Amino acid sequence: MSIILIAAMSFQLKAQTLSPYIKVGDVTESMSAISQKVIKALKDNGFTVIGSYHPAKKSSLKVIAFTRPELKYTVVQVADRGALAAAMRVGLVKKGNKITVSYTNPEYILRAYLQNDYHKYKSFFNKFSNDIKQALSEIGNDFTPFGGEIEAKKLKKYHYKIMMPYFTDPVELKEFSSFAEGVKTIENNLRNHVGNTVLVYKIKFRNKNVAVYGIGLLDKEDGEPRFLPKIGVENVAGMPYEIILQGKKASMLHGKYRLALYWPDLSMGTFMKIMSTPGDIEDMLEKNCE
């Protein structure tokens, strides 16, 4: 009886862990061909593709960002930066003659970003996750989680190590005189690629005075070309980085939180290799708010 109980407890513990990404499968088509297939599959199943780019300016890497009206409407109800969860991403990584297709695990991201409010909308989120799987089943049939594991119940209070920041410790970039001024300033800077950045997507909730900008960090010295190879391109769907404008205040998730959330299995040794990266990202995104 005790052995059965232990086995049941072990299974339960395993069932409570989540990974940040789900692998769809490996394909041997060109990057252009598989990108078009992914975009078509998403659109045909009711999703809206809102942007794409090549992280670190590498043709072997691509991210496709997408959303759905119901997702946007739901997450923006969470006042403390819930709108950051409005965009999900597909990642494409080419190695040799194959391309690995993956996407951000909605449950993992939503639990982390919506904190205690996640359970209010759990049934809707389950359907959303199933719909993504159904859409991308046209591309592959793997659907295995990867990228590290965190206990589901710990995601709302996740941090990498003791004394490291949480979701609730954002970096304030700037306070504008109005929401309209913030939108104008940020979008003008992104249009001009200030700080070697590129706008990948934007989501605006005008009736809420909230806007989210997904931003590629392309600076050779301080951006994706520097830190992605060190922490692992396999998790490329964790990009791009975001600025969120809520009312008059623009902020970002702290780099020591956000990078660790999307790369949770980083060793301390590897994390130390990108010690300057959180500050570098803050500097780049701050320039887009000046």
pLDDT digits (tens, 9 = 90+) for 134-173: 999 999 999 999 999 999 999 999 999 988 999 999 999 9
Q: What average pLDDT is seen over the chain?
A: 94
Which residues neighbour 152 within 8 Å (Cβ) at sequence distance 6 or greater?
16, 17, 18, 107, 111
Run of H or E residues at 20: none
**What's phi and psi for 266, nearest 5 deg?**
-65, 135
At residue 13, the pLDDT reads 47
Mean pLDDT of all residues in 56-69: 98
User: Any residues with CB less than 8 A from the CB of 266 and at least 6 apart, and which?
Assistant: 160, 231, 259, 260
* Domains, in order of start, for the chain: 18-157 (3.30.310.70), 171-287 (3.30.310.70)
Give me the percent of the chain exceeding a pLDDT of 90.
89
Query: What pLDDT was estimated at residue 10?
Result: 52
Name residues whose C-beta falls within 8 Å of residue 29's C-beta, 6 or more positions apart in sequence.
37, 99
Please tell me whether the overall predicted TM-score, pTM, comes out greater than 0.85 for this model: yes
Better-scored residue on pLDDT, 127 or 4: 127
What is the C-alpha to C-alpha distance for residues 209 and 185, in angstroms, rounded to an integer? 15
Q: Does pLDDT of 221 surpass 70?
A: yes
Amino acid at 193: H
**Cα 70 from chain centre:** 18
The string of DSSP codes covering 143-182 is -EEES--EEGGGGGG--SSTT---TT-PEEEEE-SSHHHH
Given pLDDT bands bounded at 50, 70 and 90, which one contains residue 229?
very high
User: 89-113, pLDDT tens digit by residue?
Assistant: 999 999 999 999 999 999 999 999 9
